[in-house]
Amino acid sequence: MLTNIPGYPRIGSQRELKKACENYWSGKMSLEKLELTARQLRKQNWDTLQAAGIDLIPSNDFSFYDQVLDMCLMLGVIPARFLPLQQTLANPACLELYFAMARGYQKNGFDITALEMTKWFDTNYHYLVPEFEAAQTYRLLSRKCVEEFKEALRHGITTKPVLIGPLTFILSGKIKDDTHQAALLEKLLPVYIQLLTELHAAGAEWVQLDEPFLVTDLEPAVKALYQVAYAAIHAALPGLKILLTTYFGGLEDNTALALQLPVQAWHIDLVRAPAQLADVLSRIPAHGRLSLGIVDGRNIWKNDYTESIALVTQACNSIGADNIMLATSCSLLHCPYDLDAETDMDPQIKQWMAFARQKLAEVNDLKSIMNGRHGLLEHNQAVMSGRKTAASIHIPAVKERMQHIAPADMQRQHSFAVRQPLQHAALNLPVFPTTTIGSFPQTAAIRQLRADLKKGVITREAYDADIRAAITHTIRLQEKLDLDVLVHGEFERNDIVEYFGEQLQGFVFTQQGWVQSYGTRCVKPPVIYGDVIRPHTMTVDWSSFAQSLTSKPVKGMLTGPITILQWSFVRNDQPRMQTAFQLALAIRDEVKDLEDAGITVIQVDEPALREGLPLRNARKAEYLEQAVQAFRLAVSTVADSTQIHTHMCYASFNDIIEHIAAMDADVITIETSRSQLEILAAFAQFRYPNEAGPGVYDIHSPRVPAVAEMEALLHQAARLLPARNIWVNPDCGLKTRQWAETEMALRNMVEAAKQARSQW
Ligand code: MET
């Protein structure tokens, strides 16, 4: 029985690669030093995996920026706009070009935009989207995977190179003109084969080809291309062992297709889809090997050995232990490095967790248990049963309340048609009312203030006084600008999820639990370990203080249950949606307290609602229905005259518009500045009944938009939606902007609204 790891984190346990890259970009580190850092990190990983007793140790899972971009460079998939730059470079595959494709290039007379970025399946990892153009010709441009294989070999380790498989590579890209998938595959395959031939010649025995698209709904034409691709690879390299790797879900209707491909081994995700094992075992060809992804690569919980051993035993009984590999469900890229670095964590909670390094040990433990070391199993069972009954996790009052959630709790008292006039009477707003999304510029001084409070450098009183001063300044500014619905500015928040997690019971925070989000950016998600309780109000003091300063309405500002869920590591001992509903109850109590404190407009942000969409179409509706229910549970406690807002920032609403409408928020503000008409068209076509604020300017850039420009957008919007339903706002929060440009942009925005009003 071999042990197999599909990939390991690469940013460095101390985020060494982040620091090195950023220093290199700013000219503070030489290329040689950057490459040395990279070699050291690769060696550390290989040594760690070898010491942990892993047999199939990955290589080429390292990346300076992104593994999909690495593939582009290896295969020569370079958009035409980079070719003039490439021609000036001595090495056409050098890091200069690589980072230019990742980050854009604005020097030496060039001004080239970067590749687009998008989320890797349902993770929070963002990859760079390959761009395919009909005129491109492909050739082996970089030999990164061969070089890294040889580098490991020099350290005495024969690794298993990891590449993105040809179909997943094509499907993750964007076809820019009239070329099509079959033509692309035909051009890419020879380069893939050349790369694999060189790996084989260098001594690689196993090569891992990642094909996670096999866990999604595939068109018949794509299924046929899978057969073409793998038949060609097998014909060219019959002696190379391919480990076809799938993850993030089950093969389902693609099981027969996957198992007919001429490869030597298959990796399946048994954490997300344990039920697929029986089907896979019944179809695997004789002598085929199966890598069982049983240790969760997407979460931070300790493995339940009893459950895993049952699956491993089932597989061994069916195809024999010699044909089995034990593995993590997917690359450990999505996990933090090392639980041992958490020195402050409550030991009871900590004992339930495993980060990347601990997961290596788990894979090895499972093998040892299969070989008879039952003591490991007993120890694990003791930990697991402790978690099942721990009083810190299981709060009877929460469970009791969950059982009594009634349909009426998810329903406003009356329909929007009844609520709207009541709200208009209560708020007395003009047509085209103006507002902002919540945050105002977060200066270095504000960040320092929060950091100082955390470190205990300043007293709570001093901190409160400074935050109040910032709120006062922001309210006065908004009054001066003549905005209609004001905000307090969110100066007390580092992050819209962390702020609430820190105040809710059931959350724990890590010191070093960094996970790569894109490029050198990492996030440190909170961990939801137990039943969620709101021990005290979270925002009422700040909001009431802000409201006390003005006669205009000030919006209460909360984060929605699905966004908190999506941006955290979530407990795995109950369905995710149960945790979402617990979060919804906590937010609901806060909504009620805000209303009781005299706040008449309350915004519950759900920027991450779309991110939770399942990969399979058949399961999307169920998810969306539950997500909508969670939101409605959070907000439906208020009176008809209290106005509920929500905010979302997506590129497209076409496929979810009916669910967005079902949320029944009185007002939704959306990010549309870059494609306003496209997004609004979805709202118009659906005849979206409630009020909507299509963002009239892009907050991601310091550019100050002109009055006429925003006014034109408002007129466009008013052709698509009833004018009385249209709000005027920027497309997201202003926290990353400077004060000067914010003031100018908002002044123009209010002016645009006034112009539009006078003509309506
Ligand atoms: N209220 C939040 C803000 O303005 C919304 C953020 S959505 C990513 O910053």
Q: pLDDT tens digits, residue range 190-245?
A: 999 999 999 999 999 999 999 999 999 999 999 999 999 999 999 999 999 999 99
Q: Measured in angstroms, how far is the CA atom of residue 703 from the centroid of ligand 1?
A: 19
- Cα separation of 592 and 602, whole Å? 10
- Cα separation of 427 and 419, whole Å? 12
Cα dihedral 675, 681, 687, 689, rounded to 10, equals 10
Checking if the pLDDT of 702 tops 90, the result is no
- pLDDT tier at 93 (50, 70, 90 boundaries)? confident
Q: Measured in angstroms, how far is the CA atom of residue 732 from the centroid of ligand 1?
A: 6
Radius of gyration of the CA atoms of the chain, in A: 27
Mutate which of 124, 435, 437 for ligand 1? The one with the most ligand atoms within 8 Å of its CB, which is: 437
Q: Which two tokens stand for residue 155?
A: 């350290």
Residue nearest (by alpha carbon) to ligand 1 atom 8: 607
Residue nearest (by alpha carbon) to ligand 1 atom 6: 733
Indicate if ligand 1 lies below 6 Å from the C-beta of 530.
Answer: no
Q: Report the DSSP pairing between strands 667-670 and 691-694.
A: parallel
Q: Measured in angstroms, how far is the CA atom of residue 557 from the centroid of ligand 1?
A: 9
Indicate the DSSP class of residue 434.
Answer: B
Of 460, 549, 534, residue with least CA distance to 503: 534
Checking if the pLDDT of 625 tops 80, the result is yes
- pLDDT tier at 178 (50, 70, 90 boundaries)? confident
* Three-state DSSP state, 201: helix
- If you average pLDDT over residues 493-506, what whole number do you get? 96
Q: Measured in angstroms, how far is the CA atom of residue 595 from the centroid of ligand 1?
A: 20
Indicate if ligand 1 lies below 6 Å from the C-beta of 661.
Answer: no
- If you average pLDDT over residues 129-152, what whole number do you get? 97
Cα distances (angstroms) measured from residue 290 to each of 39, 248, 293: 31, 17, 9
Residue nearest (by alpha carbon) to ligand 1 atom 9: 733
Which of ligand 1's atoms lies nearest the C-alpha of 438? 4
Q: Report yes or no for ipTM above 0.95.
A: yes
- If you average pLDDT over residues 358-366, what whole number do you get? 98
The order of strands in the sheet holding 643-648 is: 555-559, 601-605, 643-648, 667-670, 691-694
Q: Which two tokens stand for residue 658?
A: 């009916």
Residue pointed to by tokens 């069982």: 292
Percent of the chain at pLDDT exceeding 90 = 94
Which amino acid is present at 144?
K
Checking if the pLDDT of 675 tops 90, the result is no
Residue 676's pLDDT is what?
Answer: 65
- pLDDT tier at 602 (50, 70, 90 boundaries)? very high
Q: Measured in angstroms, how far is the CA atom of residue 671 from the centroid of ligand 1?
A: 11
Checking if the pLDDT of 366 tops 80, the result is yes
Global pTM reads 0.95
Of 351, 393, 409, residue with least CA distance to 533: 393
Indicate if ligand 1 lies below 6 Å from the C-beta of 439.
Answer: yes
- Quick one: which H or E segment has residue 341? none
pLDDT digits (tens, 9 = 90+) for 391-408: 999 999 999 999 999 999
Q: Measured in angstroms, how far is the CA atom of residue 650 from the centroid of ligand 1?
A: 13
Q: Which two tokens stand for residue 184?
A: 């692309």
Cα distances (angstroms) measured from residue 44 to each of 19, 30, 41, 628, 679: 17, 21, 5, 45, 47
State the distance between the two ends of the chain, measured CA to CA, in whole angstroms.
74
Cα dihedral sign for 639, 643, 647, 651? positive
- Quick one: which H or E segment has residue 537? none
> Residue 523 half-sphere exposure, CB side, CA atoms within 13 Å?
19
Q: Helix 144-154 to helix 67-75 angle, to the nearest 10 degrees?
A: 110
In residues, how long is the chain? 760
Mutate which of 439, 668, 669 for ligand 1? The one with the most ligand atoms within 8 Å of its CB, which is: 439
- Cα separation of 544 and 470, whole Å? 15
The total of other beta-carbon atoms located within 10 Å of residue 720's CB is: 19
pLDDT digits (tens, 9 = 90+) for 259-307: 999 999 999 999 999 999 999 999 999 999 999 999 999 999 999 999 9
Q: What are phi and psi of 391, to 5 degrees?
A: -65, -25
Helix ranges, 485-539 (H): 498-501
Strand partners, 603: 557, 645
- Cα separation of 642 and 426, whole Å? 8
Distance of CA 346 to the CA centre of its chain: 27
Indicate if ligand 1 lies below 6 Å from the C-beta of 557.
Answer: yes
Indicate if ligand 1 lies below 6 Å from the C-beta of 737.
Answer: no
Q: Measured in angstroms, how far is the CA atom of residue 461 from the centroid of ligand 1?
A: 26
Residue nearest (by alpha carbon) to ligand 1 atom 1: 438
Helix ranges, 81-180 (H): 83-87, 95-103, 144-154, 166-171
Q: Measured in angstroms, how far is the CA atom of residue 439 from the centroid of ligand 1?
A: 6
Indicate if ligand 1 lies below 6 Å from the C-beta of 735.
Answer: yes
700 is catalytic: yes
Residue nearest (by alpha carbon) to ligand 1 atom 5: 733
Of 80, 74, 239, 86, residue with least CA distance to 164: 74
* Three-state DSSP state, 259: helix
- Quick one: which H or E segment has residue 3? strand 2-4
Indicate if ligand 1 lies below 6 Å from the C-beta of 555.
Answer: no
Whether the Cβ atoms of residue 245 and residue 289 lie closer than 8 Å to each other: no
Cα distances (angstroms) measured from residue 672 to each of 113, 647, 667, 725: 20, 12, 15, 16
Which of ligand 1's atoms lies nearest the C-alpha of 559? 1
Distance of CA 341 to the CA centre of its chain: 24
Residue pointed to by tokens 């402050």: 344
Residue nearest (by alpha carbon) to ligand 1 atom 4: 733
Cα dihedral sign for 426, 428, 429, 435? negative
- pLDDT tier at 679 (50, 70, 90 boundaries)? confident
Strand partners, 663: none
Cα dihedral 4, 5, 6, 7, rounded to 10, equals -160
Of 71, 194, 50, residue with least CA distance to 132: 71
* Three-state DSSP state, 285: coil
Indicate if ligand 1 lies below 6 Å from the C-beta of 607.
Answer: yes
Which region holds residue 554: left if phi is over 0, alpha if psi is between -120 and 50, else beta?
Answer: beta
- If you average pLDDT over residues 695-705, what whole number do you get? 87
Indicate if ligand 1 lies below 6 Å from the C-beta of 172.
Answer: no
